[in-house]
């Protein structure tokens, strides 16, 4: 896949998946910009990717997102690809026991960040008549189980947002804009491995496997795919 000349914004790019996607995008010729929230993420990432621009912000806040995109345009003039990689989960908890703050946190982290960044990206892409947005849903959004109420519903929302934004992009005349998502079962991250057996984690989706699909959706080769959430469940 060739991303030569393409400017890509990876939200949450300093995380485990973000670092793998950053490496893949750079290898494909992309000019990568990442977002981060905690200063503790900066040193290790900067050592590994010294030429990647890093922008700080809380992507669940509208002003932070607007300011971040303003800075992005000042530094890079435009953006062609936006990967919404910010997200997270919480330990299983029945709906009857969920606290309001936990519900709101899952929606802010997984769905609101995706909405705000997609909204700002689409405004730029609609004007430029080109763009690729890739979101991250989850198997829990399609095959929800007990204890995954807030997380599963938020990730289902990401898939719905992806579909609607993709449909809306079709109305942008003479444009080549797509909005898609991946829905992993469980990503094989260091944090996830700590809470499972090797037999269980052996069926999970590796970060390289997830990055492969993201790279494809970000490329021109995937121009016929729009509004879709690609389920990548591995052996689960």
3-state percent helix, strand, coil for the chain, nearest multiple of 5: 50, 20, 30
Model confidence at 172: pLDDT above 70: yes
Q: What is the pLDDT of residues 29-39, one digit of tens each?
A: 999 999 999 99
Q: What is the pLDDT of residues 196-224, one digit of tens each?
A: 666 678 889 999 999 999 999 999 999 99
Contact 40, 9 (CB under 8 A): no
Model confidence at 170: pLDDT above 90: yes
> Strand ranges (DSSP E) for 48-151?
53-56, 81-84, 130-136
Q: Residue 53 and residue 47: Cα distance in Å, rounded?
A: 12
> Phi/psi of residue 7, each to 5°?
-100, 125
Secondary structure class of 223 (helix, strand, coil): coil
Q: What is the structure's pLDDT at 190?
A: 83
Q: What is the pLDDT of residues 118-154, one digit of tens each?
A: 999 999 999 999 999 999 999 999 998 898 899 999 9
Domain segments of the chain as ranges: 7-232
Contact 139, 236 (CB under 8 A): yes
Query: In what order do the strands lie in the sheet containing 7-11?
Result: 53-56, 31-36, 7-11, 81-84, 130-136, 176-184, 229-232
CA 24 to chain centre: 15
Least confident of 31-35, 88-92, 93-97, 107-111: 88-92
Closest to 54 (Cα-Cα) out of 62, 63, 38, 66? 38
Q: Residue 70 and residue 21: Cα distance in Å, rounded?
A: 23
Q: What is the pLDDT of residues 47-89, one digit of tens each?
A: 999 999 999 999 999 999 999 999 999 999 999 999 999 999 9
Structure tokens at 25: 């995008």
Q: What is the structure's pLDDT at 144?
A: 86
Structure tokens at 131: 């763009």
Least confident of 89-98, 123-132, 175-184: 89-98
Q: What is the structure's pLDDT at 193?
A: 78
Secondary structure class of 184 (helix, strand, coil): strand
The pTM of the full predicted model, rounded to 2 decimals, is: 0.95
Q: Residue 104 and residue 102: Cα distance in Å, rounded?
A: 5
* CATH H superfamily, domain 7-232: NAD(P)-binding Rossmann-like Domain (3.40.50.720)
Structure tokens at 6: 């393409």
């Amino acid at each position: 896949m060739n991303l030569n000349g393409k400017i890509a914004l990876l939200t949450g790019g300093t995380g485990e998946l973000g670092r793998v996607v950053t490496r893949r995008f750079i290898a494909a010729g992309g000019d990568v910009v990442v977002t981060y929230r905690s200063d503790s993420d900066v040193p290790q990432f900067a050592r590994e990717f010294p030429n990647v621009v890093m922008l700080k912000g809380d992507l669940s806040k509208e002003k932070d997102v607007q300011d971040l995109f303003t800075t992005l345009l000042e530094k890079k003039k435009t953006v062609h690809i936006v990967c919404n990689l910010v997200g997270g989960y919480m330990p299983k908890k029945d709906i009857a026991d969920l606290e309001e703050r936990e519900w709101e946190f899952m929606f802010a982290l997984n769905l609101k960040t995706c909405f705000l960044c997609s909204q700002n990206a689409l405004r730029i892409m609609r004007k430029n008549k080109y763009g690729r947005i890739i979101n991250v849903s989850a198997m829990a959004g399609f095959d929800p189980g007990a204890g995954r109420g807030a997380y599963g519903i938020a990730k289902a929302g990401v898939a719905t947002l992806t579909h609607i934004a993709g449909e809306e992009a079709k109305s942008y005349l003479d444009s080549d804009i797509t909005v898609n998502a991946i829905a992993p079962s469980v990503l094989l991250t260091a944090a996830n491995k700590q809470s499972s057996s090797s037999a269980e984690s052996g069926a999970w989706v590796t970060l390289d496997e997830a990055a492969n699909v993201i790279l494809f959706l970000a490329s021109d080769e995937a121009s016929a795919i729009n509004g879709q959430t690609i389920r990548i469940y591995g052996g689960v």
